[in-house]
A = this chain, B = another copy of it.
Amino acid sequence: MKTKALGKQTRVLNCPPAVIGSACIVGQKEGEGPLRNEFDRIAEDSYFGQESWEKAESAMLRESLTLSCDKAAMSAASLDYVLSGDLLNQCISSSFALRELAVPFWGLYGACSTMAEAVGLGAMLIDGGFADRCAAMASSHFCSAERQFRTPLEYGAQRSPTAQWTVTGAGALVLSAEGSGPRITHVTPGHIVDAGIKDVGNMGACMAPAAYETLRSHFEDTGRTLADYDAVITGDLGRVGHELLCELLAGDGVVADERLTDCGMLIFDPKRQDVHAGGSGAGCCTSVLCGHILRCIRSGEWKRVLFAATGALMSSTSALQGESIPAICHAVVIEAEGGRRS
């Protein structure tokens, strides 16, 4: 069987679904970063017109879905499935964003890797003949994440140099069996990698080995190298995790050049914005994907991109119980309509 298998982990989509619409909304700080012109909307304050940060995150996610469907010239109600997840306990950002939409919902949890998981599964459901159109979406919010995972913001707790800044951002994209747009051609889902690291202030180090495993499998399965891509974009390793990933790849003789970058490094300006090791959060790679990456593909600047989102699968409870931090990385290949220049 496994007619669509390529190597051990990678699946090739026979009829690659197209991204027919995408949109993202970010917070103020993200709206002051290097990608500020690539987001659909920048929230004016951290509450986004709501009465709590959790409700704000959910509203941003709902609004991203509406905007992406508008761009795809369709109603959200005509989607076959929505695949969504977020970092909040019990993924309430997603479930509350969707509670007025009568569309079958697959709830996902992949921490910061959720968007790649949603895109990968959505693309497979379409290619498998189970859906015409799916939305994939994810979110995070600096304030809701800080108070849930770390300390109340009011404490003003000191952050370590390896810490990353959870992005306030939400994004959604619509995948379709028909229509035109950037296409999902391959899916390489990852397995859990636990390098034994226990420092919850160093997510990059926890996730870099997972990113390495998925990239290694992807290259092995496809016979491709970094040079076959215009960009290989991890998310969200930040600067510390990115350097570790480069070291791990160097062990295999792979020299990482400027093609290999990371959503957590792209979204903030390390000189102007005090974010320590970079951005993180499910909304980080989601807004960079829906804002920046897809724009670069649509404009013709990039023809083929490997989007490899990473997630750290711990909780506050597991950290307090002294557990190390399991991580995962899911990757999808996105190609411009008409394929890659060569």
Q: Does A1 make an interface contact (CB < 8 A)?
A: yes
Q: Does A111 make an interface contact (CB < 8 A)?
A: yes
Contact A96 B130, beta carbon cutoff 8 Å: no
Residue of B nearest to A3 (CB): B129
Contact A104 B190, beta carbon cutoff 8 Å: yes
Q: Does A107 make an interface contact (CB < 8 A)?
A: yes
Contact B101 A192, beta carbon cutoff 8 Å: yes
Cross-interface CB contact of A105 among B131, B190, B315, cutoff 8 Å: B190
Question: Which chain B residues border A125 with CB–CB below 8 Å?
Answer: 124, 128
Contact A130 B11, beta carbon cutoff 8 Å: yes
Q: Does A66 make an interface contact (CB < 8 A)?
A: no
Contact A106 B326, beta carbon cutoff 8 Å: no
Cross-interface CB contact of A1 among B90, B106, B107, B177, cutoff 8 Å: B177
Question: Which chain B residues border A80 with CB–CB below 8 Å?
Answer: 2
Residue of B nearest to A102 (CB): B191
**A293 → B minimal CB distance (Å):** 22
Q: Does A194 make an interface contact (CB < 8 A)?
A: yes
Question: Which chain B residues border A99 with CB–CB below 8 Å?
Answer: 192-194, 326
Among A26-34, A41-49, A81-89, A254-262, the stretch in contact with B: A81-89
Q: How far is the CA of A312 from the CA of B102 in the complex (A)?
A: 16
Q: Does A274 make an interface contact (CB < 8 A)?
A: no
Question: Which chain B residues border A38 with CB–CB below 8 Å?
Answer: none
Cross-interface CB contact of A54 among B3, B51, B318, cutoff 8 Å: B318
Q: Does A4 make an interface contact (CB < 8 A)?
A: yes
Contact B111 A110, beta carbon cutoff 8 Å: no
Question: Which chain B residues border A328 with CB–CB below 8 Å?
Answer: 95, 105, 107
Interface residues in A, total, Cβ within 8 A: 66
Contact B128 A191, beta carbon cutoff 8 Å: no
Question: Which chain B residues border A130 with CB–CB below 8 Å?
Answer: 2, 4-5, 11, 124, 128
Q: Does A70 make an interface contact (CB < 8 A)?
A: no
**A332 → B minimal CB distance (Å):** 13
Cross-interface CB contact of A189 among B54, B104, B178, cutoff 8 Å: B104
Q: Does A296 make an interface contact (CB < 8 A)?
A: no
Cross-interface CB contact of A90 among B3, B9, B109, cutoff 8 Å: B109
**A296 → B minimal CB distance (Å):** 28
Q: Does A92 make an interface contact (CB < 8 A)?
A: yes
Kindly name the residue among A55, A92, A107, A132 whose own CB sees the greatest number of chain B CB atoms within 10 A.
A107
Contact A109 B85, beta carbon cutoff 8 Å: yes
Q: How far is the CA of A189 from the CA of B90 in the complex (A)?
A: 19
Q: Does A313 make an interface contact (CB < 8 A)?
A: yes
